Amino acid sequence: MKMITINPFVTRLRQGKGSQLGYFDRALYPGVIVCLSFAPGSHAADSAGAGSAIGAMLWYGAVVLLAVFAVAFVVGLRRYRGQRSELDICSPAQGGVKHHDAEEALRAVDEAWQRSFDALPDFVCILDINGKIQRANRPLIERFGPIYGNVIGMDYREIYCGTATPNPQPPCATVLLGSPAVSVETTLATMDGWYKVSSYPLNDGQGHLCGAVSVVSDISERKRAQVERDQLQKQLQQAQKMEAIGQLTGGIAHDFNNILASVMGYSELAIELSNNCAASPKLHGYLQEIYRGGERARDLIVQMLAFSRGSKGEKQVMPLAPLVKEAAKMMRSTIPSSIDMTVDVGNESFTVLGDPTMLHQVILNLCINARDAMDGKGRIAIGLHRADNVDAVCRSCHGVVAGAFVEVSVEDSGSGISPTIMNRIFDPFFTTKDTGKGSGMGLSMVHGIVHEHGGHVLVRSTPGEGSTFRVLLPMGPSEATSTGIGPARQPADAPESHTSSRHVLVVDDEESVANFVGDLLGGYGYAVTVMSSSQQAMERFKQTPAAFDLVVTDQTMPGLTGVEMAQAMLAVRPELPIVLCTGHSDRVDAEYALALGIRAYLTKPFTMAALLRKLDEVLSEQKEMSP
């Protein structure tokens, strides 16, 4: 029979002793080693006598430990069960308190979310899969609540589009059909201004589409600022374009006018010669055509310079009514009788500060433009009125126009202007007319002159119905101080030939122009010295300063300019009469030349009569000044 003993002496079992002790187990507890040994009876008997007392103590100790473990296990189990079922098995009063605390926590979270939701300045709402509003923030409710009442449950399209079936559909419609987030800038039927409408898909816990979030932001201020920036950009581009054209015009005007001075000058000489020698009438007609071609080219350059603001006329306070009537009278002879022209001058006392010739040209060009817009039949209405409280944008410079103006309008019943070309009608050389029927400078010249006078141009046009051009000019004094109302008068006939010889020094780097002036003056009794170099002319003058009674010089020349040469000559002979001629100069005008002591200023191309008359005036003044 085997006995179970508790042997406290065994602390380690060697591998070699396993067969002697039999099966064993070891349980560890802090500070105690318990060994359960199954051994033969002789082995137990040998041990019993020596350690029976100690074995008994250990036995009772083990029992006590087991009891402690059991008590601790029972206490821990009860505590675990109590915590687990606290809300389920507690008393009704205690359960109500716990449930109330949970509800308060959830309510606090929801209120915090709603406050954040309402703090958004945009119109925000949450939609279900059918587009019905499930939740809306305060700005949306305050905006649409007074109109629709309770917006919850409404179709969002009714809120923003005014109908549940708008066309086209708003962005949320595509999102609710499965598209990704969409954002567009647009106007809304139920609100003024511009809005950014954004829609975002809303998914459930499984990732399935269950609705959408709609955010509508008011971007009207940004749009207005963008429009202003675009407007300023257009003005900048227009100014840069005008500056480029002005530089181009000024660059070619001098050389082109020199060419015209030669062509027109020799044409006049040839016409005069043909008259004196009774040449063929056909030859005389050919020469007349050459001269008229030069005049048209000269007028084109004048228009280009006016457009680029490089040409400044003499302004004066003038009534507009006589000017409008004069232009209309001139136009009647150039339009067919099938076109009806009416003139409505509202007030005869309207005045402006301007150049009569240039403003006359503006009205003529607008009337010509109206005539050409009609296929030989229609109506042209010219008006002069006061325009108060103007609030518009200038079509040519794109600047804002506001205030009171004197308005000259030209209305036609022609073909109108297509919106695709409206922004180009004031561009130089732009024309819709057939080749050879228009220079493209008419409206660009209008732009230059009107803005030189501080005015603006408004245009209203409908394709197929006609156009109206409104020229707005700053109002002048109520009473005119000048009677100049029409275009510049043509020069009078040339004076008679001089019987006494006057020695004239002609200086021009363009030999053809210099020779033309020399031949012209020589034919009218002047002794002429012609030179094409300003430096050589200066050397010749220094040799015999008193040999010349008059100097006619070009301005733009290599070496010494006309002004520089004139100053050097006047330093030697302060009383010397000098006439300065120029095709075009940005630096020297009549006022500047006269301030330097130069007696007269002529613009090329000039007519024979204009040059001869100017020289006669200068020499007459010189004679009066002589002692």
Residues 421 and 385 in one domain: yes
Is there a domain that residue 605 lies in? yes
Residues 460 and 419 in one domain: yes
For residue 66, is pLDDT > 70?
no
Token pair of 512 as six digits: 């053809």
Is there a domain that residue 571 lies in? yes
For residue 496, is pLDDT > 70?
no
Mean pLDDT, the chain, whole residue set: 78
| Calpha distance 315→120 (Å, rounded) | 60
For residue 26, is pLDDT > 50?
no
User: What per-residue confidence (pLDDT) applies to 97?
Assistant: 63
Select from 514, 516, 467 the least CA-distant residue to 272.
516
Average pLDDT over residues 456-485: 77
Q: What is the dihedral of CA 236, 308, 425, 447, to 10 degrees?
A: 90
Select from 362, 361, 354, 364 the least CA-distant residue to 334.
364
Select from 327, 257, 245, 333 the least CA-distant residue to 295.
257
C-alpha distances out from residue 277 to 35, 132, 301, Å: 159, 100, 34
For residue 177, is pLDDT > 70?
yes
User: What per-residue confidence (pLDDT) applies to 517?
Assistant: 92
Single residue among 307, 334, 350 that ends a domain in this structure:
307
C-alpha distances out from residue 79 to 67, 71, 75, Å: 19, 13, 6
Residues 429 and 572 in one domain: no
For residue 67, is pLDDT > 70?
no
Average pLDDT over residues 181-187: 90
Looking at residue 331, which CATH number applies to its domain?
A: 3.30.565.10
| Calpha distance 545→570 (Å, rounded) | 10
CA atoms within 13 A on the CB side of 415: 12
Select from 413, 515, 503, 508 the least CA-distant residue to 467.
413
**Per-residue model confidence as pLDDT tens digits over 373-421:** 887 889 999 999 999 989 999 988 888 899 999 999 999 999 888 888 8
For residue 78, is pLDDT > 90?
no
Is there a domain that residue 169 lies in? yes
**Per-residue model confidence as pLDDT tens digits over 419-464:** 888 888 888 767 766 544 555 667 888 888 898 889 999 999 989 8
Give the lowest-confidence range in 167-181, 301-315, 465-479, 571-585.
301-315
Rounded to 5 degrees, φ, ψ at 491 are -60, 150
- Which pLDDT band, with edges at 50, 70 and 90, does 561 fall under? very high
CB 393 within 8 A of CB 399: yes
For residue 500, is pLDDT > 80?
no
| Calpha distance 277→291 (Å, rounded) | 19
User: What per-residue confidence (pLDDT) applies to 434?
Assistant: 58
Select from 489, 465, 472 the least CA-distant residue to 392.
472
Is there a domain that residue 491 lies in? no
CB 56 within 8 A of CB 73: no
- Which pLDDT band, with edges at 50, 70 and 90, does 492 fall under? very low
Residues 404 and 279 in one domain: no
More confident position, 490 or 163: 163
Average pLDDT over residues 575-595: 87
| Antiparallel, parallel or unpaired: β 578-582 and 600-603 | parallel
Is there a domain that residue 478 lies in? no
| Tokens 């457009």 sit on residue | 307
For residue 356, is pLDDT > 90?
no
Looking at residue 194, which CATH number applies to its domain?
A: 3.30.450.20
Rounded to 5 degrees, φ, ψ at 186 are -155, 175
Residues 534 and 601 in one domain: yes
Range of the domain at 422: 316-473
Rounded to 5 degrees, φ, ψ at 205 are -65, -25
pTM: 0.46
Q: What percent of the chain has pLDDT over 90?
A: 27
For residue 226, is pLDDT > 50?
yes
Q: DSSP string spanning 97-132?
A: HHHHHHHHHHHHHHHHHHHHHHH-SSEEEEEETTSB
* CB burial string 479-492: b at 16+ within 10 A, e below: ebeeebbebeeeee
Residues 332 and 442 in one domain: yes
Helix (H) or strand (E) holding 449: helix 442-452
- Which pLDDT band, with edges at 50, 70 and 90, does 161 fall under? confident
* Residue 520, helix vs strand vs coil: helix
- Which pLDDT band, with edges at 50, 70 and 90, does 334 fall under? confident
- Which pLDDT band, with edges at 50, 70 and 90, does 313 fall under? low
| Calpha distance 470→489 (Å, rounded) | 27
Residues 452 and 325 in one domain: yes
Q: DSSP string spanning 310-322?
A: ------EEEEHHH
User: What per-residue confidence (pLDDT) applies to 295?
Assistant: 81
For residue 48, is pLDDT > 50?
no
- Which pLDDT band, with edges at 50, 70 and 90, does 165 fall under? confident
Q: How many C-beta atoms lie closer than 10 Å to residue 462's C-beta? A: 11
Rounded to 5 degrees, φ, ψ at 120 are -65, 130
For residue 240, is pLDDT > 60?
yes
Residues 334 and 468 in one domain: yes
For residue 273, is pLDDT > 50?
yes
**Rg of the chain in Å (alpha carbons):** 53
Residues 165 and 277 in one domain: no
Residues 558 and 606 in one domain: yes
| Calpha distance 116→110 (Å, rounded) | 10
User: What per-residue confidence (pLDDT) applies to 306?
Assistant: 60
Q: Tell me how many domains the chain contains.
A: 5
Is there a domain that residue 485 lies in? no
Q: DSSP string spanning 550-591?
A: EEEEESS-SSS-HHHHHHHHHHH-TT--EEEEES--SS--HH
CB 561 within 8 A of CB 534: yes
User: What per-residue confidence (pLDDT) applies to 442?
Assistant: 76
Residues 453 and 557 in one domain: no
User: What per-residue confidence (pLDDT) applies to 587?
Assistant: 79
